[in-house]
Amino acid sequence: MIVDLELPRVAVGGGRNVLLCTYGSPGDLLPFLAVGLALQERGYRATIGTSPSYRGRVEALGLGFAPIRPDRREDRADPDFGARVVRGLQSPGAVFRHMFLPAFDEAVEDTLAAVANADLVVAHTLAFAAGPVAEAKGIPWISATLQPLSYFSRHDPPAIGPPAFAKALDAGGAAFATLAKGVAGLVLDHWSWPWHRMRDEIGLPASVGDPIFAGQHSPLLSLALFSSLMGGAQTDWPANTLVTGFPFLDDPGAPGISPELAAFLAAGEPPLVFTLGTTAVWEAGGFYEISAAAAARLGMRAVLLCGSDCRNRPERLPAGVLAAEYAPHGQLFPRVAAVVHQGGIGTLAQTLRAGIPMIVVPFAHDQPDNAARMVRLGVGSRIERNHYTVEAVVTALHDILGDPIRRRRARELGQRIRMEDGAAVAAAAIDRIIGSRGAMPASRSRSPAGSAGVPC
């Protein structure tokens, strides 16, 4: 469902503690930080349970922090994403276990410690231990997803797999999508034996679903932390789904716009931006060389956000092209003409919010589906990673920048996105869940430590 909410900014939390568990890149962290800050405005104590290396980002905002392994280091390449996903060096089952169920025993151990003082738990799609551990301890929990793919609707099927399969899934109708989802669920369920074993060890009944689709959603509330423009709620989504809008927050651990970049922006027309986020950037290949050459051929200024890997910086930059490690998207994107990016949900959301057109070059995971949705919205186009050439980029940018309909559409949707406050909507929903359950202190609302229990 999609609900319009009145959101009084009053302190009603009474000091109760909400534990928000997430795992992944900064794009998976920032929405949870935004929700945590909105909960603090309502008088709650918000604690972020995530990779140990994110401690500084979390505590800089005054939020509580609970380390939950495995650690996700953004200052180095992710071998799971590179060797296993981009270059396909392992079977899909091994990729799933290494990327999505790594260090699972440690994650369960850390989550058990993290929930000790929690009155409610919010679980990200990839925080697989959070929901089951909360359930076993009798703590109410809700699920939170960042993209429509997580719901895999037969009425709005995601664009997944090779492009030919994605087209077949889209053209095959609800029956084919239902079959595809069923097969995917069976395969994922088979690969998810560590998750099923964990449920048994902490005293929970066997689950009939896998942790990615059927088993990830809470019976209390499923927060869809994205805009309804990405895809409205479908009849086969969980009935308790709330589409909140995007929760925006610039990365507190990253520097602001540098003096060099500020001077560049002020010196001429709005540039293009080329970025691969924080994960795909370690597998850039020739992306930045090609991008710089395409900008030069178009006669446009450009900013290349290359990350910290020095190999990504072109040896010779054309005139009017600036290379930087990073810049806060919320500050940069409103000042540019278009963004070429990998399709991560955080980068995509900031591009939509800025009201500018985009080109998506998807690498993996939800990115192909996100790209397809931008094409359908009429604000972007897509280039396959293995077709990313100077000619393809020049053609795509020329088409989209020369199309007044798509540029106007991007501006209109940007205005709508800027009216959303996904963090406040999510915090209000969490507040109602806690209030409806009597707002009991955590120590009086859960089963004794170490015992399995029915959620309170």
- Give 227-256 pLDDT, tens digit per residue: 999 988 999 999 999 999 999 998 877 788
Mean pLDDT of 93-98: 68
238-277 CB burial, b ≥16 within 10 A, e <16: bebbbbbbbbbbebbbeeebeeebeebbeeeeebbbbbbb
Among 96-100, 253-257, 371-375, name the one with the lowest average pLDDT. 96-100
Mean pLDDT of 370-378: 96
Residue 74 has pLDDT above 50, yes or no: yes
Report which of residues 80 and 31 the model is more confident about. Answer: 31
Q: Specify the DSSP class assigned to residue 270.
A: P
448: pLDDT confidence band, cut at 50, 70 and 90?
very low
211: pLDDT confidence band, cut at 50, 70 and 90?
confident
Q: What percent of the chain has pLDDT over 70?
A: 86
Question: For residue range 40-50, what is the model confidence (pLDDT) as tens digits?
Answer: 999 999 999 99
Residue 412 belongs to what H/E stretch?
Answer: helix 404-418
- Rounded CA gap, 284 and 291, in Å? 11
pLDDT of residue 441: 47
Residue 90 has pLDDT above 80, yes or no: no
Mean of per-residue pLDDT scores for the chain: 88
pLDDT of residue 15: 80
Q: What percent of the chain has pLDDT over 90?
A: 67
Among 43-52, 102-111, 266-275, 392-401, name the one with the lowest average pLDDT. 102-111
pLDDT of residue 183: 80
Kindly report whether the peptide bond that precedes residue 70 is cis, defined as omega within 30 degrees of 0: yes
CATH 3.40.50.2000 segments of the chain: 17-246+420-444, 259-418
**Token duo for residue 201:** 């060890």
Residue 388 has pLDDT above 70, yes or no: yes
Mean pLDDT of 92-105: 71
**Token duo for residue 163:** 């492009």
88 Ramachandran zone, left/alpha/beta (phi>0; psi -120 to 50): left
178: pLDDT confidence band, cut at 50, 70 and 90?
confident
Residue 86 has pLDDT above 50, yes or no: yes
pLDDT of residue 446: 38
CATH of 259-418, one of 3.30.70.360, 3.60.15.10, 3.40.50.2000, 3.40.640.10: 3.40.50.2000
Residue 345 has pLDDT above 90, yes or no: yes
pLDDT of residue 445: 38
Q: How many CB atoms lie within 10 A of CB 363?
A: 19
Taking Cα atoms as reference points, which of 398, 278, 261 lies closest to residue 335? 261
Report which of residues 75 and 260 the model is more confident about. Answer: 260
pTM: 0.89
3-state secondary structure of 382: strand
Determine contact, residues 84/94, Cβ cutoff 8 Å.
yes
4: pLDDT confidence band, cut at 50, 70 and 90?
very low
- Rounded CA gap, 93 and 40, in Å? 40
pLDDT of residue 79: 59
Residue 120 has pLDDT above 90, yes or no: yes
pLDDT of residue 429: 98
Q: How many CA atoms lie within 13 A of 437 on its CB side?
A: 23
Residue 168 has pLDDT above 50, yes or no: yes
Domain 17-246+420-444 of CATH type 3.40.50.2000: yes
- Rounded CA gap, 65 and 252, in Å? 15
- Which residues are within 8 A (CB) of 354 and not within 5 positions of it... i.e. 6 or more apart? 333, 334, 336, 339, 414
Residue 121 has pLDDT above 80, yes or no: yes
pLDDT of residue 44: 97
Question: For residue range 295-305, what is the model confidence (pLDDT) as tens digits?
Answer: 999 999 999 99
Taking Cα atoms as reference points, which of 36, 125, 35, 4 lies closest to residue 420? 4
Amino acid at 210: D
Burial class (CB in 10 A: 0-12, 13-18, 19+), 222: buried
